[in-house]
Structure formats: structure tokens, C-alpha cells
Amino acid sequence: MYRILALILCAVVSAQAADSPRKLAYARGNNLYVAALDGSGAKKVATGVSPDLSPDGTMLAFNTEDASGKTLERSIAVADVATGKTTMLPNIPSKNCHSPVWSPDGRQLLFQIYADKDWHIGIIGADGNGFRFVKRAEADNHSFYSVTWAPDGKGFYCQDLETIYHLNLAGALQEQWPIAKLFAHGGMSSGGRMAVSPDDGRLLVDVEMDEETARKDWDGPPPAIWSLDLSTGRATRVTPKGVFAWEPCWVSGDAFLCLIQPTSAKEPSIYRVSADGKTRQPLVKNARDHSVSR
């Protein structure tokens, strides 16, 4: 009897979670907003950069930026979406940390942390306890970037400008793909973003293309989004030449969000794009650093 009741309760909770509306977080300037998945009903929640919504959409992780001193200081913070109450996570041995990302179960955060003159990957509990380095730079100037969780929560993906890695939470190598062989006439930067599909089958990747551009007021190579098939190791360009697109973030198995900056625009906007890149719909104007709840 108790087993049956427990199963019924779990089913009810699961149904309620499935029925709860999904949310979108994004940054505009230094203000962080949470809205409905279609961008409507936006509400300012906090001040900072690199917001990441918890899987249930109730908490927002981000990093603060303090440029008042001689060096930029960045700390990891978590805000309650309903109240805006913000908590700075303690027990992190660095004053330069950024880009936190929630684990699929909402209990931990992976983030980039600067220590000993290199960038590493750190992990900490959402309550601020249990910090440790999950992947340290193995040699001078061999830093790790672009961290994103694997859907099963048992590992993550990152890159070091030369190789994309799949690591477990002990930092042990599971798989790797050389960047130079993946992307024809393109490479990755330290600010690039990666996003793994819900079925752990495809990895969307920010790629800086070695292509000529006639755009005025554009500094740097044109960005494009590629898709890496994790089973075959084959990469395919998703966004076409001439479409400046970056910061991919999966919405479902057949659609993702990204930034696109049309030729006539001075700022990028968030677009919803089909997985094959053929359909592009503007969602939130003049915004960036987006993430979605699950």
C-alpha cells in the first residue's frame, strides 16, 4: 500500500513539474531578466552577467563583476527568481570566477575559475558547500573553457582551444575531438559556447570562421554555429555563411536559441532556430547570455 501511494505521489509531482511553464533568462546590459519561454512577461531579477536558470526555473546562477579596484573581480551568485534575493556563494578560493552552469538535478554548479595563472573548471554545491577543482589546467597556459553539463549529470564537455573534451566529474577523459579537424576554416575562442542536445547526441559549438566579411563596425572573425555528432565525430555547419550567429542553447531536440546580429543591427538579439538552421525566428531584441529551464 505504501509503495503504491509513493508511486502515485511521484507521478503527481512529475506531472506538475512537466506542466510548469518553462522560462527564459537573459542579460541586457548588466541587468538579468527572467521571462516566459517566448520572451513575454520579462522581470528583472538581478544585476550581473552570464545568467543560467536552474532546471526548475526557480533559481538564477550568474557572476557579479566589480571593476572598482585595480583588477576585475568576479564572484558566483545565486538569486531566487520569485523574490530576487541574491546569495553570494562562499568558500571559493578565487576572486575571478564566471559562467556558472546548473547540473541537470539542480544541486551543483560548474564554472570557470582563475587560479595559479590559469583557467580551471570548478564545481560547488548550490548551497555554497563542497567546492573542488574538477579539472585543473595541466600545463602553463593550457586553460579550459566553454563548460557544459552532459545530460546525465555524470560529466561535462569543455575545450582548450585545440580539443573538445568529454570528462567525468573526476576530470577523467571519456572522449575527445581535435578542433582543427572538426571545423573547416574555423576555430574556437575562450569565450565560445557549447551546448549538448537533450539526448546527448549532438553538441552545438560556437566557431569563429576564417572568412572575409564586409561588415562595418564588426571587430573579429564572423561567428557560426556548428553541430558535432557525438557518435560519429562528424561536424556540420548549421548557420549559413553571412548569418552571424553564436551562443547556442538547446530548447528541445529540434530547436535551439542563439544570438544573431543582422547586417543592419547594432546589437545582437535572441533568435529561436530549427536544429537544421533553416528556420530563424526573432525572440528577444538586444539581449544576450540566454539560458532556459527544463
Distances (CA, A) of 95 to 121, 145, 246: 14, 17, 28
pLDDT over 70 at 132, yes or no: yes
- Global pTM value: 0.91
Q: How far apart are CA 87 and CA 79, in angstroms?
A: 6
Domains of the chain: 21-292 (2.120.10.30)
Predicted pLDDT of residue 11: 40
Using 50, 70 and 90 to split pLDDT, how confident is the model at 151? Answer: very high
What is the rounded average pLDDT of the residues 46-73? Answer: 95
202-209/194-196 β-pairing: antiparallel
Predicted pLDDT of residue 213: 82
Helices then strands, each counted (H, E), the chain:
2, 25
pLDDT over 70 at 281, yes or no: yes
Q: Which range, of 7-16, 22-31, 232-241, 246-255, averages the lowest pLDDT? A: 7-16
Using 50, 70 and 90 to split pLDDT, how confident is the model at 150? Answer: very high
Q: How far apart are CA 95 and CA 207, in angstroms?
A: 29
Predicted pLDDT of residue 286: 97
Q: How far apart are CA 34 and CA 51, in angstroms?
A: 9
Give the torsion through C-alpha atoms of 240, 244, 248, 252, to 10 deg.
-50
List, in sequence order, the alpha helices (H) in 175-232.
179-182
